[in-house]
Amino acid sequence: MTSSSSSSIGRTLTLVIPALLSLVVSIVGGVTVFRINDKKTDLNYSVVTSAVFSGQTQNTAIVGVVINNPAQKELENVRVIVPLGNAKLTEPKVIGLQPGSYTQVVDAKQIEIQVPYLNPQESFSLQLLLALSSNRWNINNSSVSVRAKGITAIPTSSTARNDGVLEFLVPAVTSVLALLVLAFSRSSIFSPLFYTRKHDSDQRDVVAYILGVYEFYQEAAQIRTLERKTPYWALTDSLAEKCLSSGDHTRIQQGIQCLTSLLSYADIPDTSQLLIHYNLARLAAAVGDLKLARNHLELARKGNHSVINMRISFDKNLSQIV
């Protein structure tokens, strides 16, 4: 085994061993807490893991916070604030909530998660991967602030219930395992596995990159000036229309190659994928490749989406193919 391989394994073990210890502490601590306390609360939370790992170039910390609504009523305006201190937030992750059901606000001092409504018996966890300038960093229950409308949450160390062991442990275990995944994704041994996933950065930059590859330089520059939240389907609509309006078969073929590559390269929502297949069908029909047009039409209609069906009915070329 080479020295570089040994070094990589050693760095990985510095992540794995403390994280596993954190998992054990979370489980044992959770069981102990629930067995010695029986006071009910409307909202509680706990820092289930907090560990610092030393690296060759910088230190890394992982933090997991579990928030739980054990009450029989819905809570409003839940806010979770975790101070960052001298740490730099590398990657946050919320588990247990739908992406559109909360708001995330980050600045140099803290990260805040805002949840308009938290259902009865519902819980979620916040996991953070942090880069540290030193190994002197710590966080505990007293450092974290959790509130809801008319309620200040209390750490589970003083409010847990005997009948809620699994309610606490499942998010705790999930939290630590998720943090392990984040840590592994930055390990030199496991990183190639994570780099194979599709590109999920700013949609404008992803599309602009693909456009540049296929020599749509002007379009790439224009896309970078658009609103950050412009969806993939809107960006590809624009490209398809420019290719079709040019009347240049070579340009249209480039557009087909560009959109095909975008589908395989980028992490695109399902609805946008359907609309991109629709645009590919338009381009293929324009150059007379009816077989390719039918293939993409079939994929576009796979979801039986009303918008897709209406678009096809509006397009004379595609409606004839169907």
How large a percentage of the chain has pLDDT more than 90?
27
Q: Where are the domains of the chain?
A: 44-155, 203-314
Q: Which residues have CB under 8 Å from 256's CB, separation 6+? A: 280, 283, 284, 287, 292
Cα radius of gyration rounded to whole Å, the chain: 25
3-state class (DSSP) for residue 1 = coil
Q: Which fold has domain 44-155?
A: Immunoglobulin-like (2.60.40)
CA distances from 192 to 74, 170, 177, 185, 270 (A): 43, 29, 19, 8, 26
pLDDT tens, position by position, 213-271:
888 888 888 888 877 667 888 888 989 999 999 999 999 999 999 999 999 888 888 88
Q: If you ran DSSP here, which 8-state letter would residue 157 be given?
A: G
Q: What is the DSSP string of 33-99?
A: HHHH-----S-EEEEEEEEEE--SS-EEEEEEEEEE--SSS-EEEEEEEEE-TT-EEEEEEEESS-G
Helix or strand holding residue 275 (H, E): helix 270-286
Going by pLDDT thresholds of 50, 70 and 90, the confidence category of residue 100 is confident
Asked if residues 150 and 102 have their Cβ atoms less than 8 Å apart, the reply is no
pLDDT tens, position by position, 111-166:
999 999 898 888 898 988 888 877 677 787 788 999 999 999 988 754 444 444 44
The whole-number pLDDT of residue 282 equals 93
Question: For 39-54, what is the mean pLDDT?
Answer: 73
Dist. CA 104–CA 202, nearest whole Å? 17
